[in-house]
Amino acid sequence: MTKTSSFSAPKGVPDYVPPGSAEFVAVRDGLIRAAKLAGYGHIELPVFEDTGLFARGVGESTDVVSKEMYTFPDRGDRSVTLRPEGTAGVMRAVIEHGLDRGQLPVKLVYNGPFFRYERPQAGRYRQLQQVGIEAIGIDDPALDAEVISIADAGYRSLGLEGFRLEVTSLGDDTCRPQYREMLQEFLFGLPLDEETKRRAELNPLRVLDDKRPEVRAMTADAPLMIDHLSESAKTHFEQVLGHLDALGVPYVVNPRMVRGLDYYTKTTFEFVHDGLGAQSGIGGGGRYDGLMAQLGGQPLSGIGFGLGVDRTMLALEAEGKSAGDPARCEVFGVPLGETSQQRLVVLAGLLRAAGISVDLAYGGRGVKGAMKAADRSGAKFTLVLGDRDLTENTIGLKDMATGDQRQIPLDDVITTLREALDVSS
């Protein structure tokens, strides 16, 4: 009878355990690697911050701030919030540590858990895992294209294919105020409920992001930002698309795209995978020209993204693909006796020092049970060592793929396995 724990993970918080956790690591590291190849340095962020950072940086009219944040007083009665997103925290760190006073752009990559109190469903978790990058300090369409292409390359490096990039421009200070008035005039002429009217007053763009069918129907003919860009904003967007074309990054322009955070300006984008149903977004981002100044720093622009590790795993599953090797080790050692175990423990240490991952059968289990453990470990080779082998200074080497087993000199184990596993010196 299986004993069950009296505790379980909080609702909407997934566990990643072996062997499935190998895919989680492969997806996360694959997305990070694409950023590292473009010169992005790692930044480690606090899991919680001053609540005011997110209220001011993300926007009080957003669902994230108004409905979804995990906010609580600490023991000093200060209001703190588990981070719902990464950009505001990165910007705070850049200002606090003076990174914006050095070489620009400041290029940073981060990863880890983020927290939003949402109704849990497939692909929507209360603890979500993301990889993000930020490029801060330079307003250059080529940099926008670089950020987008890094996300595209990260997904493709994992073998993901069935996604599309949707891109638009949300304008800037040269055209947004006029568009805001135009959109509000349109919205105030509609029979909106009181809460939606308040949203239209605070941030009318958010009304265009309303998922309710009746609201979507009413706003079908709403004026769109992309049709009312200033010449400078239009030129910036056209140059971004030109760079994406030159890089061979496919995209579609989506004029009705509205991201869920207030700080976005100009280039805004989302990666969508239709295999995920309602939660089709697997990552996205955009430019945020006024955010640093809003948080007390220099008036420098920036652009970045957040890519969902959980969502990317679901997208791979929808395509019938997987990433990562579930094998726990490359070599598994099976000792046949106490003296053999002592020798194998030392040998395992030497192999690990030589860059080979090794696990051993512990607990004095029999040969049959030990070989089953070797098979479950996913190891490519198994080493079998008995008392007779010690006398002859040899060891059994079994290829787990072919089943072939041969005796080799104990002194040659490291060299033989390095060659077989193609481990560089």
- Can you give the CATH number for the domain in which 168 is found? 3.30.930.10
pLDDT tens digits along 202-231: 888 888 888 889 999 999 999 999 999 999
CA end-to-end span of the chain: 49
pLDDT of residue 425: 58
pLDDT tens digits along 314-334: 999 999 999 988 999 999 999
DSSP result, 334-370: EEESHHHHHHHHHHHHHHHHTT--EEE--S---HHHH
Q: Same domain, yes or no, for 251 and 364?
A: no
pLDDT of residue 219: 93
- The total number of structural domains in the chain stands at 2
Residue 89 included in any domain: yes
Whether 307 and 133 have beta carbons less than 8 Å apart is answered as: no
Q: Same domain, yes or no, for 256 and 404?
A: no
- Enter the tokens of residue 145: 């294209």
pLDDT at position 376 over 80: yes
Strands (E), 198-341: 252-253, 265-273, 281-287, 302-308, 331-336
pLDDT of residue 366: 87
Which of the pair, 44 or 3, is modelled with greater confidence?
44
Q: How confident is the model at residue 262 (pLDDT cuts 50, 70, 90)?
A: low
Dihedral of the alpha carbons of 113, 117, 123, 129, in degrees to the nearest 10: 0
Q: Same domain, yes or no, for 343 and 397?
A: yes
Give the Cα-Cα-Cα angle 149, 154, 159 (nearest 5 degrees).
120
Residue 72 included in any domain: yes
pLDDT tens digits along 53-72: 998 888 776 777 878 899 99
Q: Same domain, yes or no, for 242 and 282?
A: yes
**What is the SS3 assignment for 110?**
strand
pLDDT at position 13 over 90: yes
Of 273, 294, 318, the domain-final residue: 318
Range in 74-88, 273-287, 327-341 the model is least confident about: 273-287
Q: Same domain, yes or no, for 51 and 98?
A: yes
pLDDT of residue 333: 97
Whether 333 and 383 have beta carbons less than 8 Å apart is answered as: yes
| Length of the chain in terms of residues written | 425
* Residues paired with residue 132 on neighbouring β-strands, in sequence order: 110, 306
pLDDT at position 265 over 60: yes
pLDDT of residue 2: 55
Name the nearest CA neighbour of 151 among 33, 243, 31, 246.
31
Q: Which strand (E) or helix (H) includes residue 52?
A: helix 51-58
Residue 206 included in any domain: no
Share of the chain above pLDDT 70, in %: 97
Share of the chain above pLDDT 90, in %: 80
Residue 379 included in any domain: yes
> Which residues, in sequence order, are CB contacts of 376 under 8 Å at separation 6+?
none
* Residues paired with residue 127 on neighbouring β-strands, in sequence order: 115
Of 292, 318, 344, the domain-final residue: 318
User: The CATH number of the domain where 373 resides is what?
Assistant: 3.40.50.800
Range in 63-72, 78-87, 95-104, 344-353 the model is least confident about: 63-72
pLDDT at position 394 over 80: yes
Mean pLDDT of 148-165: 97
Q: How many CB atoms lie within 10 A of CB 314?
A: 18
pLDDT of residue 121: 82
Whether 309 and 130 have beta carbons less than 8 Å apart is answered as: yes
Q: Same domain, yes or no, for 261 and 385?
A: no
Mean pLDDT of 143-162: 97
Q: How confident is the model at residue 257 (pLDDT cuts 50, 70, 90)?
A: confident
Q: Same domain, yes or no, for 305 and 374?
A: no
Range of the domain at 52: 21-175+229-318
Of 295, 318, 341, the domain-final residue: 318
Residue 202 included in any domain: no
Mean pLDDT of 266-291: 92
Mean pLDDT of 27-47: 97
Measured distance CA(83)–CA(116) in Å, rounded: 8
Q: Same domain, yes or no, for 49 and 101?
A: yes
Is pTM, for the whole model, over 0.75? Answer: yes
pLDDT at position 260 over 70: no
